[in-house]
Amino acid sequence: MPPQKRAKKASKVAVTDAADSPAPEMAVSGQPAVAGGGKRVLLVDDDAEIVESMRTVLESKGYEILIARDGNQGLAMAESHDPDLVVLDMMMPKRSGFLVLERLRRSRSVPMRVIMITANEGSRHKAYAEMLGVDDYIRKPFAMDRLIDSVQRLLPG
């Protein structure tokens, strides 16, 4: 990663970590369930703007949203809350999306549905995620329609 990008990512992480509480967030939509049918989706990403955009659009579709701000928190929430789907960023503080995905694949007899999102354009990363059994791989920036289509395909009904 070029030094400028590394510095930008590091400063974003520091600001995000300092602003967030250490406890994971849980958001439950007050709207009646529609397409989501009350299915639970865990969003694991350290970028507050992306999380808020995904939360808003998925709640509007009737999904119950759980939020984790780093890889360790995401793994703990996946294990304790048993979501129907995890939307997992690749590059995060404390534990990368790859390490979270590897652990989820090793620790569960029935694989959890996982969508990996990343700003990384390398094809090796996509190939590795697919080898680990990721259900979908979305590159940032992405249209929210792309995310909705993927979630609805992986969580029908």
Summarize the confidence of residues 75-97 as an average pLDDT.
Answer: 94
pLDDT at 9: 39
Q: Which residue has the higher pLDDT, 28 or 10?
A: 28
**Cα–Cα distance for residue pair 17/85, rounded to 1 Å:** 24
The one-letter amino acid code at 133 reads G
Three-state helix/strand/coil letters over 80-129: HHCCCEEEEECCCCCCCHHHHHHHHHHHCCCCCEEEEEECCCCHHHHHHH
Q: Is the pLDDT of residue 66 over 50?
A: yes
Summarize the confidence of residues 56-75 as an average pLDDT.
Answer: 96
Q: What is the mean pLDDT of the chain?
A: 81
The domain ranges of the chain are 3-154
What pLDDT, in 10s, does the model give residues 16-65? 232 343 444 444 444 444 456 789 999 999 999 999 999 999 999 999 99
What pLDDT, in 10s, does the model give residues 98-119? 999 999 988 877 789 999 999 9
pLDDT at 109: 75
pLDDT at 106: 87
pLDDT at 36: 64
| Overall fold of domain 3-154 | Rossmann fold (3.40.50)
Summarize the confidence of residues 130-150 as an average pLDDT.
Answer: 95
* 8 A C-beta contact, residue 59 and residue 144: no
Q: Which residue has the higher pLDDT, 106 or 146?
A: 146
Percent of the chain exceeding pLDDT 70 equals 76
CB atoms within 10 A of CB 69: 28
